[in-house]
Structures are given as C-alpha cells and as structure tokens.
Structure 1
Amino acid sequence: MVHFGRNVSFIAVVLACVALKATSNPVGHVQVVGGTLAKQGQFPHIAALLRREISGARTFFCGGSLIAPTWVLTTADCLRTHNVGSTSVRTGELDFDQATEYEQLVNAKRFVVHPDYVPTTALNNIALVELSQPVVEIPGFVNSIKLATTRDVLYPGTECTVAGWGSTSEGGATSKKLQFAYLPSMSDVECGADWPERFDSPSQLCAGFSQGGISACGVDYGGPLTCGNNPVLQGVVSYNNGCGRPGLPSVYNRVSNYVDWINSNINNSTLGSTV
C-alpha cells in the first residue's frame, strides 16, 4: 500500500468515534494490485498501523492483524524506523475518508520483534505490537483471527485472500478504501525457483499467479493472508519486488512456523525481544 495520512480525534476502545479527513502522501510504495473494494466487516481482524506526526496528524504506514484484544501481528520491517511513543493502531477501519462507529484507535505499548530477525534478508521478519488497552471486539466487525498451526496444512492452489489499503497498479494513485484480492497458495518448489537466493521454506510461503497481475507488496507489509473455507491467518506480507510482476510472487511469513513464539509472548508479556 502507499502511505497516506489522516488527522483524527478518537476516544479509544469505545464504539463511537470522531475522525477528520485523510490527506495523501506521495506514491512510491507498492500495494495490493488487481484488488476489489472490501465491505465493512469483511476483514474484521485487519488493523492499520499509524504514525503520529509533529502536526498531530496520523499517517498510515503498515498493515497488521488483530490476534488478541491487546496484540497485533505485523512485520519487523514495519517497526524498524518507528517508535512506540508515536505509534497507534486502528481497528474497524474501512475508508480513510469516512469514519464509522466500528473504528477504534489504541496507542502502542511496546514492540516485540523476533529475536532472530535479519533485516538484510527479511528472515524471521515478524513482530508483535502490544496495545496500551484492549480493543473492544464487535462481532462481525472487529474480531481477532485464529492463527494457523502445523495442523492447518496449506496445500498448493488453496484459495487465499490478501487485504490492505493502496493503489491498483504499481506506482499508481492510492485508494483510501480497504481492498482485497484472491490468490492461490504456491508450492515451496515454485516459490524457491522464483526467489532462489532468498526464499526460506520453513518460515516463508508464496501466493500469487505466475503471470502476475494480482499481488500484495510494499506498505501492505504486515498485512494478513488468510486461506481456506474457514479462514485462518496463514501469512503476513513480508516482501516483494514491484507489484504483480510475472514470476515474482509476494512472499509471506508462514504463521504456523511462528505460532509458538507468538503465543509465548502473548501469554507471558515478559518474554521476547523488545525495541
């Protein structure tokens, strides 16, 4: 997705909220390409990570997934150049130009980055944002999502869905409304052939089409990939090269590989590598 900002005034963790309009940031990051506009409540787990500017405006910089009332899963890359004090998370977001009663804004309490994260290769590119107070779950509109485990086998060709905010073409104009796209999961062999020097099959997976055209990338980082008839969170958008280019599918962190690490931090907040 491409960055864009929004001036907001919110009372966090209540069902009613007040928000001002979004302002656009320069295009230059890659995004969901070939997507369709989402409906309110279609992705109740999706979260928007926001940075508070000196002016007081809040600027969207990455996606995430609500996995517990006080926890959002995202990527370590998303948090590298940001600090806890200026970061907040908005759930229930659909359109950055139109506020709804489902939106909640909560400040970040701390970042938890995977201890084996390697910035140069995006290996173990996964992180948690602990929230300062719980998000109020609103059934059908704001809900945490189930994490995939090793029992949730992801077979090649399984229909998956990626969601986020951004433009419909590489370098194109932004969309301030939530978008989604359907993508098939890919085999590790096929993904490794497309990313021969970077793909790590135990911790990563690919989804997309060999001919390109539909993709998640750029500021979609941290956003969710859900798969199957009863969707679970299988992937977290990690890296890409361009938007929807042939032979260059999006790469995702494989959630099932990290579920023990995630749960250990959620269940014991003293664990993990914090920044």
Structure 2
Amino acid sequence: MIHAYCIILLLQLLSPTGGSESGIVNGKVSKPHSRPYMASLQYDGQHSCGGILIREDFVLTAAHCKQSDTMTVVLGAHNISKKEKSQQRINVTKYIKHPKYNGKYDYDIMLLKLKKNATLNKFVKTIGLPKKKGKIPANIKCTVAGWGRTGQDKPASDVLKENTEKLQFNSECKYIWQQYFDDDSMICTKFTRKAGGICQGDSGGPLICNTKPQGITAFTDKNDCNNPEWPHVFTKVNAFIPWIKKVLKENRNVA
C-alpha cells in the first residue's frame, strides 16, 4: 500500500527549505455536514488528501495527491473512520493533471473524473468556483478544512476540522519562499503558532474566502507545518478557471 508519507518525502527532496503535502492544527471540529462539498481522497481506505466537489462527476484537488490509479473519493463524510449512511464512495476513472505540472510546485492542480455521478443531497453538494482573475484582497480571513494531522508529529483527525487563516501579501510570500512561490498561480496565508492551520493530510483541500474556493492546499514548511515563519501556500484557483472549464466541457457526457 502506498502511504501519504511517500508524497511528503518526495516534496521534501525538492528544495533546501522543503515543503510537504499539507491536517488542521488547533482550530475546531466542523459542524457535521456543514461543508457538503468536501471530499476525502483515499487509498485502501486510508485518507490521503482533501478535495472539493465542483460538479456531480468532478472533484478538484492538488496534482501531487495522485499516488496510484486506485483512488476512491468519499463524499458526504464527517467522521471518515465510520461508515456513515451519508457517505458516498466513488472510484476515480480519470486523473487530469494540469499539462504544465512536472511533479514540483508549479501548476499543482488536478481534476478527478468520477466513475459515476455523485447523488446530490443535503450531505453532498457542489461548490461554485471564483471568477477568472478576480482580485483577492490581502488580510481577509479565509477558512481551511480537512482531515489531516492535528500537529506535525500528531495523528490525523477522523472528523472534519476547520480553521481560519489570513491572506498574506504576495510580495511577502515571494520574499520568504523565493523561487518556489509564483504570484501568478499561488497565494499564501499567515497564521500564528497558537491559532494553527493546515498540516500533512490537508493537501488538495480548499481555502475558502467569501464563500468561494480561492485556493487549493499545496505546501508548507517540511519540518513544521505550524511554523509561522513559513506561510502556507495554496494553488490560486482563479488562475486556472479557463483550464478547469475546458476540461469540464470536454468531459460533459464522457463516462
């Protein structure tokens, strides 16, 4: 079985400072099913990454979340350690990574075509995408959510957790992450050690700002996901709206 730590190791090797696939540190337990667009991406029944349902048959996530061709998407979940009646488990039939993704940091975005349409109900709903190239003001508070680790050396959470992080100025992100940060296709957040935020296992999950998924969790400091000296980095969703729409259109009636 391929475990999530394989991806963490891979990303650690890519830079001197390193990055890791990104659980929610501190924060709070989400109200059950209050985020019906959330998806748990699993291999052999084990949570690996997060994602969001953007159409009945498509989930948006990070490209580095693909480990093999045996991924299952779990929708309608709150406690992923239980077989809740609300859950829908659907296999992935197609993995569509951005064509410019090369296994590193840039273009870390992927669409998952589900084997069958999800059944939309009060537990499972899609989330709308932001506008193309819409401005995202710095310093606004956004929400992150996931089933990842609750600390750098702590276990993952069985229940969905969420936290608040504040958008950072792109210039500050670039100054800190240097060549690993592309302000055209990435955004980053600032946080405090006490408040916490994303950690290993949250990769592919959303950064929700003003009800829209403005970011897809990408990477953090490899040694300490809760180190406030290193902003959390997200793939900027609105930079990829044309590509997302193109893929969705091409796969409108494709099984």
User: TM-score if structure 1 supplies the norm length?
Assistant: 0.79
Q: Counterpart of 2:145? A: 163
Q: Secondary structure at the match of 1:195?
A: helix
What is the one-letter code of the residue matched to 2:120?
Answer: E
What residue number does 1:47 align with?
39
**Which consecutive residues of structure 1, in runs of 5 or more, have no partner in the other structure?**
5-27, 53-57, 271-275
Amino acid at match of 1:217: C
Instruction: Give the alignment's Cα RMSD to 1 decimal.
Output: 2.1
- Name the counterpart of 1:239: 219
Amino acid at match of 2:251: S
Contact 2:49 / 2:205 at 8 angstroms: preserved in 1?
Answer: yes
For 1:17, the equivalent position in structure 2 comes to none
Counterpart Cα distance in 1 of 2:173 and 2:21: 23
Picking from 117, 122, 136, the partner of 2:101 is: 117
* Cα offsets for 1:154-190 (capped at 9, x unmatched): 1011111000013322111332111100111111011
Q: 1:222 and 1:30, CA in 2 relative to 1: closer, same or farther beyond 3 A?
A: closer
Which residue does the alignment assign to 1:199?
Answer: 181
Provide the residue aligned with 1:185 in structure 2: 167
Match of 1:38 in 2: 30
Q: Percent identity?
A: 27
What is residue 109 of structure 2 aligned with on the other side?
Answer: 126
- Partners of 1:217 and 1:262 in 2: how far apart? 26
* Matched residue, 2:57: 70
- Judged with a 3 Å threshold, the aligned counterparts in structure 2 of structure 1 residues 160 and 115 are, in CA distance, closer, same or farther, namely same
Match of 1:9 in 2: none
Alpha-carbon spacing, 1:30–1:74, altered in 2? closer, same or farther (3 Å): closer
Q: After the TM superposition, which parts of structure 1 deviate over 4 Å for at least 4 consecutive aligned residues?
A: 210-213
Shift of 1:100: 2.5
> Structure 1 residue aligned with 2:121, among 128, 133, 138?
138
Q: In the alignment, what sits opposite 2:86?
A: 102
Give the aligned partner of residue 232 of structure 2.
Answer: 250
Which deviates more, 103-112 or 202-211?
Answer: 202-211
